[in-house]
Amino acid sequence: MFVNDIRYHNANSRTSISPGITKPEPVSQKLATVRLLPIPLLYKYIQDTLVINIPFQYHYQKNQYPISILFLIIYLVFLAAIPFRRKTFWLYCRINLYMSPAIAMAVEEKEYDSNHKEAESQYQKGVKHLCESGISRVPAKYILPILDRPFTTRHDEVNVSNQHNLNLPIIDFADLQGSNRARVLKTLSNACEQYGFFQVVNHGIPSDVISSMIEVSTRFFELPFEERAKYMSSDMYSPVRYGTSFNQNKDKVFCWRDFLKLMCHPISDVLPHWPSSPVDFRKLAATYAKETKFLYLMLMEAVLESLEVVGTTEKKTEEEDDDDDDQLLLKKFEDGSQLMVVNFYPPCPEPDLTLGMPPHSDYGFLTLLLQDEVEGLQIKHHEKWVTVQPIPNSFVVNVGDHLEIFSNGKYKSVLHRVLVNSMKARISVASLHSLPFDCTVAPSPKLIDESNPRRYKDTDFASFLEFISSREPKRKNFLETRKIFDLENQIN
């Protein structure tokens, strides 16, 4: 049976009748149907129910067969007179012909369970695999509750029926490195406070490094499933992890994305674990990882400067002591973690029912996102979901939870999500950067004073991983657990 045939109806799923298997009605629902039956049929039902725990053959050994036939005839006569649902009619025919209700239920539930297990194991193989089995509709596993669907307005959101496109603040990296640094730092600071996002252009990463990364990732996802599946793992610490959805072990509703996650630091240790196919994957992805790490360090230095946590280029010469502290801090970032996530979103037959990625924030300091020409990324801005227009050869950069904590709430880690579309597959590569895994992230002492008290608890990477692997990630809930609620100052 094809996976796509299996559509269990629930409160959130479509209401029209779709082909395939439906979940058997609970006993309470069947009993409700009984109320419609005349007394003799009720008697038959009770009689059969009394043999609930008696095996099938025993039912026959008790010579109930002729009685069953008799009741069947009476039953059919009544059925002809009562306007039943077709499904109920066949169920009762089946019960009377050869089974007690309990056995019928058990058989149906067994069928349901085995189909359910088969479907679940198909979903675990990812959406690319699902699409290759040939689907024309989205299976129920991917259908979001109505309020979480991309074009529904939640009570806490402003109407998004007209899709808005957003031009994010643009940081010209070449300008940042030149004589206009002070002005660009202001734009950067404003972007991190107001949007939590900005786009970087003129970043200096050669365009062939970027196009090769997209191209080799495309080829990776084109490999046969068995080849991709070699990298499937539920170990969050694994240097390479192929998978699907957001957290496929916890998500009740799956997202329409497959991913390849690559730990990138230290590169010499992790590289031998990366996919060996396509043959040029390691080389191209490692070059891309090194380039993005360098760009991240440059951007992070600018971010720290904009927060006045490290001296500005001019101040550095004046305050030599501070310079040592600054170097120590920057060294920590150099030794920091880097996780590269290659996201693949196949075309989706019903894109308004599901999402490529649910609303979430990123855990690190900065994420550098490369997206192909297909739009899909949306960010939450002034309570609206707005689409980020892809700019060729640019990076979308966003503030992560760790930077929000480090900046003591000045810079915002903003919710974002991914829409899918019915026409084109989409690829994006996110590089998430933070401090080394064993470091604690805390608000910078330089950003805490009486008028601006500490707003976040210390946090470390291990507790973040523990948090996300133990529950279904929803919105910004990890960051929420790190907030200090100050009753006196009412800050949260």
Q: Which of residues 277-336 bind ligand AKG (CB under 6 A)?
A: none
Q: How long is the chain?
A: 492
- Report, in Å, the least distance between residue 430 CB and ligand AKG: 4
d(CA 168, CA 259): 26
Nearer to ligand AKG, 102 or 357 (CB): 357
Token reading at 131: 């699409």
Enter the tokens of residue 304: 């720290």
CB-wise, 374 or 447, nearer to ligand AKG? Answer: 374
Identity of the residue, 95 or 368, whose beta carbon is nearer to ligand AKG in the bound complex: 368
Identify the three-state secondary structure at position 187.
helix
**With binding defined as CB under 6 A, does residue 362 bind ligand AKG?**
yes
* Distance in angstroms (rounded) separating the CA atoms of residues 356 and 81: 50
Q: Which residue is nearest to ligand AKG (CB)?
A: 428
- Please work out the total of residues on this chain that contact ligand AKG, with binding judged by CB under 6 A: 12
Give the nearer residue to ligand AKG in terms of CB position, either 101 or 336: 336
- Single out the segment in contact with ligand AKG by CB under 6 A; choices: 186-194, 237-245, 371-379, 472-480: 371-379
Alpha helices in 2-160 (DSSP H): 27-34, 39-50, 56-61, 65-81, 86-98, 101-124, 127-132
If one asks whether residue 418 binds ligand AKG (CB under 6 A), the answer comes out as: yes
Tokens standing for residue 232: 């499937």
Closest CB 289 distance from ligand AKG, rounded Å: 15
Closer CB to ligand AKG, 245 or 428, in the complex: 428
344: closest CA among 412, 255, 282, 236?
A: 255
Show the site string, 422-461: x = touches ligand AKG by CB under 6 A, - = not.
Answer: ------x-x-------------------------------
**Residue 51 or 339: which CB sits closer to ligand AKG?**
339
By C-beta, is 91 or 200 nearer to ligand AKG?
Answer: 200
Footprint on residues 45-84 left by ligand AKG (CB under 6 A):
none
Tell which residue, 225, 254, 231, has the closest CA to residue 243: 231
Question: Of 187, 199, 217, 371, which one interacts with ligand AKG (CB under 6 A)?
Answer: 371
The C-alpha atoms of residue 12 and residue 138 are separated, in whole angstroms, by: 13
Secondary structure (H, E, C), 456-472: ECCEEHHHHHHHHHHCC
| Of the candidate residues 125, 141, 293, 416, the single one contacting ligand AKG (CB under 6 A) | 416
Cα 174 → chain centroid: 34
Given candidates 122, 343, 354, 431, which one binds ligand AKG under the rule CB under 6 A?
343
Q: Which stretch binds ligand AKG (CB under 6 A): 36-44, 69-77, 369-377, 462-470?
A: 369-377
Query: Closest separation between CB of residue 339 and ligand AKG, Å?
Result: 9
C-beta of residue 355 within 8 angstroms of C-beta of residue 380: no
Q: Which is nearer to ligand AKG, 260 or 310 (CB)?
A: 260
Those residues with Cβ within 8 angstroms of residue 245's Cβ, 6 or more apart along the chain or in another chain? 251, 254, 255, 257
CB atoms within 10 A of CB 396: 23
Binding test (CB under 6 A) with ligand AKG, winner from 369, 397, 399, 435: 369
Identify which range of 78-86, 274-282, 370-378, 451-459 contacts ligand AKG by CB under 6 A.
370-378
397 binds ligand AKG (CB under 6 A): no
Nearest approach in angstroms of CB 192 to ligand AKG is 17
Residue 140 near residue 116 (C-beta atoms within 8 A): no
What are the C-alpha distances in Å from 457 to residues 337, 345, 469? 21, 36, 20
Contact status: 414 vs ligand AKG (CB under 6 A)? no
Q: Contact, 346 vs 425, CB < 8 A?
A: yes
How far apart are alpha carbons 485 and 453 in whole angstroms? Answer: 11
Q: What are the residues whose beta carbons fall under 8 Å from the beta carbon of 58, sequence distance 6 or more? A: 51
- Which of 243, 336, 364, 376 is close enough to bind ligand AKG by CB under 6 A? 376
The CA-based angle 257-261-266, given to 5 degrees, is: 165
Our finding on whether 263 is near ligand AKG (CB under 6 A) is no
Query: What does the binding site for ligand AKG look like in residue numbers (CB under 6 A)?
Result: 341, 343, 357, 362, 369, 371, 376-377, 416, 418, 428, 430
